A and B are shown apart, each in its own frame.
Chain A
């Protein structure tokens, strides 16, 4: 059973303070971290290997060359291999373009029995890529998974518990499948020092668009968006002076005058 875990390097949103134009947070030059939700995905992937007969865990990321740091953390936690999709043409790609590139990379890697991702990324918070990936690969998506109930690599089935608003849902699917996981699934392990030593020396495969047989034009963003402030409203504020009794009387008169009461 081959497992791929999707890892995104994100800004440390707790530390962002500078803005580009007073509206958008700027992450340039700020420390970057492994998307915290993905740590749960990595842990799930490792447990699938350790407890459910998995063979190999590959950490897959799409990002700038420095996203390799996030992959090294995955390796230090115990992933067997790491692959980075990085290409200047991907700088402005949207979630669908990301999913297309990931799908091509996963196919190139020979596919996977299980693809595990975090519930969303803390920067964009779209939670769209795993669903789009499932559609592109034609695989079932099990989102917001809070527990693994049964994994049968032989029969190629998986049963999980999904955490939904106001309830739980136990569902089964056939493998290969895609999971997105929430916090309850497992406590992410610390990378061990031995893991760090190994990860520092481990090679990270980097794939460009041409390695995936993709054209930049095929990944162009389908959505455009802009950021702005809501329209401001003119508000007049009047303070009523006097004793509490006088204030109450004046207030009631005004409300009657304005036909509020």
Chain B
């Protein structure tokens, strides 16, 4: 089969795979127990290898590559034992920094993007709120304009890397307008007085990733920290969501492959009724069908990457891919646990963690239902359609 990857991409894949196997996987248990991975030290290591700015401009310390390099990174992160670590890293490379790289002022990029690429600063994306998750237009955090400053008040929820981030890419209201208008995307250093972590959330899965509720009490940052024009934040963030959906889909695909491979391996070893369980046609037919669906999703995701590289809008396709990923991961995880029998229900086997971890993919980064709304709108349906 043809591949979009060049030998250069393959070399990167070998490096990332080796990195995941030696620098991340051996720590899975410890980091899951600790409730966070050491973001600063891990990002420093990745930064030194140039893994945090693969497709960012060389002028800012990036690698100047195309998005297929990010694709390689995300695919290999998807194969990690702990998806919590992978998500924390993905937030840094593909959620909190792309808008800064694309729309940030040269000064803002110099102060935040350059150290983020080096792995010296940990970033987080702060959009969701207690009362505005997938419904971004309903968010309430305000950034009042006071001379040359913004004064930020409110709270943010579900923030990955929330307890460790050095800066946030924060979406807040900067005018009195309602709905999608009047929002700005602002870089907020977490060392600013008035910022605090309200608490770290205790989650079903992704336990090696710290997810937090953040509070802003008269947090004052310069208006120069605004990414793009004031009031243009919603539009930029909507554009950013496409990349976020694609990134999660790419990780989901390889994570499903890993789960299916683990299950196939288990069924090959596990003997019952006079032979390896893998000789049972029901079991291998089910797995074969799931491999087929994962491959189909990969091809859709690759089409999204092609569009993204070409600068073509892929909102419809990325939303479809994310929806399918959210649904397929649930079936894959459920099947894999079922085929492991009792062993699928104990933490000694990796599939139990996968079952807990992957459940997020139908909720985070835009829930399945949000994807359905976006797709419906593209297909001329919905509450406002004629």
A251 to B65, CA, bound (A): 75
- Evaluate contact between A72 and B11: CB separation under 8 angstroms: yes
A72 to B12, CA, bound (A): 12
Contact with A along B48-62 (1 / 0, CB 8 A): 111100100000000
Q: Is the interface of A mostly helix, strand, loop or mixed?
A: helix
- Evaluate contact between B7 and A72: CB separation under 8 angstroms: yes
**Contact among A72, A193, A200 with B49 in the assembled complex (CB-CB below 8 Å):** A193
Measured between beta carbons, the chain B residues less than 8 angstroms from A192 are: 48-50
- Evaluate contact between A193 and B51: CB separation under 8 angstroms: yes
Query: Nearest chain A CB to B6's CB is how many angstroms away?
Result: 8
Query: Nearest chain B CB to A64's CB is how many angstroms away?
Result: 16
Query: Does A91 make an interface contact (CB < 8 A)?
Result: no
Measured between beta carbons, the chain A residues less than 8 angstroms from B65 are: 193, 197
A162 to B48, CA, bound (A): 32
Measured between beta carbons, the chain B residues less than 8 angstroms from A73 are: 11
Contacts A192-B50, A193-B65 known; A200 to B19 CB distance under 8 Å?
no
Interface centre among B6, B8, B18, B64 (most CB of A within 10 A): B8
- Evaluate contact between A196 and B15: CB separation under 8 angstroms: yes
Measured between beta carbons, the chain A residues less than 8 angstroms from B49 are: 190-193
Query: Does A69 make an interface contact (CB < 8 A)?
Result: yes
- Evaluate contact between A196 and B11: CB separation under 8 angstroms: yes
A194 to B53, CA, bound (A): 10
- Evaluate contact between A194 and B50: CB separation under 8 angstroms: yes
**Which residues 2-61 of B have a CB within 8 angstroms of A?**
6-8, 11-12, 15, 18-19, 48-51, 54
Least CB separation from B23: chain A residue: A190
Query: Does B222 make an interface contact (CB < 8 A)?
Result: no
**Contact among A69, A72, A190, A193 with B63 in the assembled complex (CB-CB below 8 Å):** A193
Measured between beta carbons, the chain B residues less than 8 angstroms from A76 are: 11
Interface residues on B, range: 10 to 19
**Which residues 265-292 of B have a CB within 8 angstroms of A?**
none
Contact with A along B137-165 (1 / 0, CB 8 A): 00000000000000000000000000000
Query: Does A199 make an interface contact (CB < 8 A)?
Result: yes
Interface centre among B11, B12, B64 (most CB of A within 10 A): B11
Query: Nearest chain A CB to B285's CB is how many angstroms away?
Result: 25
Measured between beta carbons, the chain B residues less than 8 angstroms from A197 are: 8, 63-65
Contacts A190-B18, A191-B15 known; A196 to B48 CB distance under 8 Å?
no
- Evaluate contact between B48 and A193: CB separation under 8 angstroms: no
Contact with B along A60-86 (1 / 0, CB 8 A): 000000000100110010000000000
Least CB separation from A189: chain B residue: B49
Query: Nearest chain B CB to A187's CB is how many angstroms away?
Result: 10
Query: Does B112 make an interface contact (CB < 8 A)?
Result: no
Measured between beta carbons, the chain A residues less than 8 angstroms from B54 are: 193
Measured between beta carbons, the chain B residues less than 8 angstroms from A199 are: 11
Query: Does B68 make an interface contact (CB < 8 A)?
Result: no
**Contact among A69, A190, A193 with B7 in the assembled complex (CB-CB below 8 Å):** A69
**Which residues 161-211 of A have a CB within 8 angstroms of B?**
190-194, 196-197, 199-200
Measured between beta carbons, the chain A residues less than 8 angstroms from B64 are: 197
Query: Does B216 make an interface contact (CB < 8 A)?
Result: no
- Evaluate contact between A193 and B69: CB separation under 8 angstroms: yes
Query: Nearest chain B CB to A74's CB is how many angstroms away?
Result: 12
A12 to B304, CA, bound (A): 34
A204 to B363, CA, bound (A): 49
**Which residues 1-27 of A have a CB within 8 angstroms of B?**
none
Query: Nearest chain A CB to B2's CB is how many angstroms away?
Result: 18
A76 to B15, CA, bound (A): 10
- Evaluate contact between B69 and A200: CB separation under 8 angstroms: no
Least CB separation from A69: chain B residue: B7
Measured between beta carbons, the chain B residues less than 8 angstroms from A72 are: 7, 11
A199 to B11, CA, bound (A): 10
**Contact among B6, B15, B69 with A190 in the assembled complex (CB-CB below 8 Å):** B15
- Evaluate contact between A193 and B12: CB separation under 8 angstroms: yes
Query: Nearest chain B CB to A185's CB is how many angstroms away?
Result: 18
Measured between beta carbons, the chain A residues less than 8 angstroms from B50 are: 192-194
Rank and list the top 5 A-B pairs by shortest CB-CB distance, nearest first.
Answer: A193-B50, A200-B8, A193-B63, A192-B49, A196-B11
A190-B18, A193-B51 known; 15 new pairs, CB 8 Å cut-off, are A72-B7, A72-B11, A190-B49, A192-B48, A192-B50, A193-B49, A196-B8, A196-B11, A196-B12, A196-B15, A197-B63, A199-B11, A200-B7, A200-B8, A200-B11
A residues with CB within 8 A of B: 69, 72-73, 76, 190-194, 196-197, 199-200
| 7 A–B contacts, CB within 8 A, in A order | A69-B7, A76-B11, A192-B49, A193-B49, A197-B8, A197-B64, A199-B11
